[in-house]
Each structure stands twice: as C-alpha cells, then as structure tokens.
Amino acid sequence: MGMMEDSMTTERTLGGFLRHRGVSRRAFLKFCSAMASMMALPASSVTALAEALEQARRPSVIWLSFQECTGCTEALTRSNAPSIEGLIFDFISLDYHHTLQAASGAAAEAAREEAMHENDGQYLLLVDGSIPSVKAYSTIAGISNLDMLKEGAAGAAAIIAIGTCAAYGGLPKADPNPTGAMSVEEIVKDRPIVNIPGCPPLPLAITGLIAHYLAMGVMPELDRLGRPLAFYGENIHDRCYRRPFYDRGLFAETFDDEGARRGWCLYKLGCKAPETYNACAQIKWNQGTSFPIQSGHGCIGCSEPNFWDKGGIYDSVAMGQFGSGPKIAVAASLGAVAGAGAAVLARGKKHKTETELDSDD
C-alpha cells in the first residue's frame, strides 16, 4: 500500500509523469537546456529549471472558447507528437474544454464549476476567441461569453489569451465589428494576462509558456503588448532566410515569376514580416518542417493587433497602415539600388576574370 501511495504521489509531479511516459533524464535535461535558451535564461539556470519542473504539481486548467474558429485548439492538438512539450500539455489537468471533453450540457458546466471551486485562486484560465460585448451574440449553456469570462477570471491565478482573437479581438473585431468583439485584456483588469497571438499561434509558444509557469511560478518577461519576449521579441523579417535577397534588392514581382522560383523576397507581394513579431522563422510548423514564407506565401502579420484592418493581404507594408511602412519602403528601394550596383560590380568582375583567363590561354 505504501509503495502504491509513493508511486501515485510521484506520478502527480511532472518528473514522475515524464518518467512514466518513458522520457529519459538525458532527454529531459536537453529539453530544459532548450527551454532556458529560448526563454533567454542563463546556462547556469538549467539545473534549477530541471529541478523545479520535476517537482511541479499538476495544475488545474480551464479552457474557455468564445468567438473563434477552433484553429488554436487544432494547432495545439496536431503539433509535434510525441514531444516533451506535448507531454507537458498532457500533464496539466484540463478540467474544462468544451471542444475536447467527453461531457456535454449540464455535466460539462458542472465540471467547470467544480474545477473553479476546488482550485479557487490556483487554476490557469486559458481563453481563445474574442468576447462579444453584446451578450446575445454568443452564449454557452445559456451563459453569455462575457459573464463566463468574468466568472472564470475571478478565481484564476493567471490568464493566457491564446490566439489573436483572444489577445486583440482578431477577425471578429474587424471593422465594422458588429458583435462589439473585445479582447480578454479589455475586459479583465485585475489578473495577470499573457497574450499568445497568432492565427493560430505556434503550439510551442503555448506549451513553453506553461512549462515556464510550472517551473518558475510566474509568467516570463513580456513585451509592451503582453507577449512573451522569448517568442515575440524579434520580427520575422530579421530571422527570415529570404532576408539576404531583401538586402540585395531582389524581389519576386508575381507568385510565378523567376524571382519567386528562386526564393527571392516576398515584400512586394504583401509580406508583413518586417512589422510582425513572432518566432515562425525559427520554430516553424509541423516539427520544424516549414512556415508560410518558406511555403511561398508572404507573412500576413497575424500576430499583430488589428492586422485585418491594415490593408490588403497582398499589399506591401508601405501601402497599408503598418507604422513604419514608409521607412521600410525606402529601405527596400535602397536595397534595390544596392542590389543593382552589386550585380553590375559582379558582372564587371566576371568579365575581367574571363578576359584574364582568355589572355592566359
């Protein structure tokens, strides 16, 4: 009996859970090293991070879905499998998620209320989808989204707004915003809120944030828009493998021209990477296989506020309402001039070399 109790106690920690799932100590430490690097923590913190994560207890999580397309849930559940970050999401006690749970109707709402009552002040509240300020537009079990959010937020230790709709209002908030859609932070003012925008967001940004919270007991450093700097600290343009073509002034003019086939910069075809902060270019999707720009389509800026109302998807940044567009347009023009100059210089060197080779013959 004592051995069984010890086993059950160990199983309730993240370390015990991972061992039970066959994760080796070496693999776990490798994950902790990657997590420390990603979160910009010093190398000396890896051991402390590993110890804290090993002893972390299973937290109660309530996931509320409002005006959304289920894309955020789809992205998470269809991400890498099996991976340690995926197992961390398996480890949490997901006590309410009306898309994934087996229960429905009164039983589902009873589970939500029980989880809030038993874990008052300690549970994580995850929210995806915007919240209509006009209550009649969206209800769950007869409860308006607005009232359900306020009720859930009251007892939450922290709130994670998952996806651009929850973080900024997203597509439902686009002009003319008939439902009066609002973001989580526009409604809740007295709880810690972390935004994980994206349409949908990177799954690793969600599980990485949860891992940080489990280990540290606090949320990581955030930018001015409430996003973790670890995932949203740099814009996609600066990390894009097409950046050298931008600097040389080499741009695709259409999606099927020679430049597009050669992988040239997609800036003129509407790529919003210069004004979009996210880790898409580093982490990518489908186990690091690709991301939209690598697939041949420009970034649409989906992790930035109000991206739906900032001009056409295929309009360049300078043509839309992205803040520093004119500067970027000038930079692109200078890049084109520099690129042309470099090309002339290269041709001159090539001609000189060929002439010298001919004279040697």
- For 180-239, how does the pLDDT look when each residue is reduced to its tens digit (9 = 90+)? 999 999 999 999 999 999 999 998 888 888 888 888 788 889 999 999 998 999 999 999
Residue list for the binding site for [3Fe-4S] cluster: 280, 299, 302
pLDDT one-digit tens code per residue, 292-302? 999 999 999 99
Which residues are CB-neighbours of 120 under 8 A, at least 6 positions away? 155
Q: Residue 350 phi/psi, 5° resolution?
A: -65, -45
pLDDT in the model for residue 349 = 41
pLDDT in the model for residue 87 = 62
Q: What is the mean pLDDT of residues 262-274?
A: 95
For 6, the 3-state DSSP assignment is: helix
124: pLDDT strictly greater than 50: yes
pLDDT in the model for residue 91 = 76
User: What DSSP character marks residue 202?
Assistant: P
Which tokens sit at 255?
A: 């999606």
Cβ(151)–Cβ(102) below 8 Å: no
Radius of gyration of the chain (CA): 24
Band (4; pLDDT cuts 50, 70, 90): very low
Cβ(282)–Cβ(243) below 8 Å: no
Can 59-228 and 236-309 be said to share one CATH topology? no
Residue list for the binding site for [4Fe-4S] cluster: 69, 72, 165, 199, 237, 240, 265, 271
Return the minimum-mean-pLDDT range out of 1-5, 275-279, 280-284: 1-5
- The CATH class for the domain spanning 59-228 reads alpha beta
323: pLDDT strictly greater than 80: no
Mean of pLDDT over the chain: 82
Kindly list the domain boundaries of the chain, sorted by start residue: 1-57, 59-228, 236-309
User: What DSSP character marks residue 237?
Assistant: H
For 291, the 3-state DSSP assignment is: coil
CATH T-level fold of 236-309 = Cytochrome-c3 Hydrogenase; Chain A, domain 2 (4.10.480)
N-to-C CA span, the chain: 91
pLDDT in the model for residue 285 = 86
Count of all residues that appear for the chain in the document? 361
What distance separates the 2 farthest-apart alpha carbons in the chain? 92
Name which residue leads in pLDDT, 196 or 357: 196
State which H helix or E strand residue 144 sits in: strand 143-144
- pTM to 2 decimals? 0.79
Residue list for the binding site: 69, 72, 165, 199, 237, 240, 265, 271, 280, 299, 302
pLDDT one-digit tens code per residue, 53-90? 888 878 889 999 999 999 998 887 766 545 666 666 67
Return the minimum-mean-pLDDT range out of 25-29, 69-73, 119-123, 179-183: 25-29
